[in-house]
Amino acid sequence: MSAGPPPSKMRRTSQKTTHSRSYPRGVGLDFRKLAGLTLLSYIDHHGVSVRAEAPPSELAVAVARHFESMEVDEETCIGGYLQRLQEGTAGPTDYSRETASFDGRAPPSLARKRRRSKWAARPAEQVAAKVTRTDENGSWILASVQRFYADTETYDVQDEDDTSKLIRLPWSHVMRLSTGAEGCFHKGTDCMAIFPETTSFYRAKVSKDPVWKLSANGNTPLVKEVVVKFEDDEDEQGRTPHRRVPSRYVIPIPHNYFYEESDDVDLTPPTSK
């Protein structure tokens, strides 16, 4: 009686039969031309099942097959996009909730780490950096990124007022600055903003709805400045003045910036009564 094939060969054979590499013919888009990080972003967003060691070619096939299986209502998609442009007030959290596919399960830590690495600030980019261990007002300052370490998810940054030393910070102590196109700073929104003639971010509240204007190329609606009222900024009569701040230097409060959809999920197993 002859022995069967070694277990390792049996495993390799089974992998070949469960992971098809043939690109679906019915998909007109060629996802094989996209960068690996772009494919991973799609995979993380829609929860597509792929092997951890899958090469880009296999990722492209998985994305194409998922894309082919989706049923899309064109009128709903176009209508939602136009409504988003007209309103310009939906926060990033609300928008992601409406467009994301979420099954109630927390994404794996590897997917979270991959997502954070993808959206990490780049060298020489200005950011808001938390340089104290407390949450006191003004603990976030304007800094520039020198390097991001993907393996440890830490940054080396320099204080814009003191470039003589590097500061090592975890990813949760660094926020990217606004582009002016997010549309999340409507009247009454809590935020942090750079106080005039300083490089520190202080807690504030948006006091007027922002004015949208087209960008220089005329294609993208942007907010160039935000009117806010800072905490503890009363004058001698006890009135808090409106202050105009460039939209680039107005950022969400940390809790909203670092929000993850899975934070809304109760991961505590039910207890038996």
Q: How many CA atoms lie within 13 A of 160 on its CB side?
A: 17
Report which secondary-structure segment, H or E, holds 16. helix 7-18
Q: How far apart are CA 158 and CA 94, in angstroms?
A: 33
For the segment 57-79, the average pLDDT, to the nearest whole number, is 81
Residue 260: count of CB within 10 angstroms of its CB: 14
Mean per-residue pLDDT, 243-268: 74
Q: What is the pLDDT of residue 98?
A: 44
The pLDDT-based confidence of 147 (bands split at 50, 70, 90) is very high
Sign of the alpha-carbon torsion through 52, 55, 61, 67? positive
pTM (2 decimals)?
0.57
User: In terms of DSSP H, where are the helices of 70-218?
Assistant: 74-87, 92-99, 109-118
The count of residues in the chain is: 273
List residues bridging with 178 in a β-sheet: none
| pLDDT above 90 for 193 | yes
State pLDDT tens for residues 81-92: 677 666 654 454
Question: What is the C-alpha to C-alpha distance for residues 124 and 102, in angstroms, rounded to an integer?
Answer: 35
Q: Is the pLDDT of residue 140 over 90?
A: yes
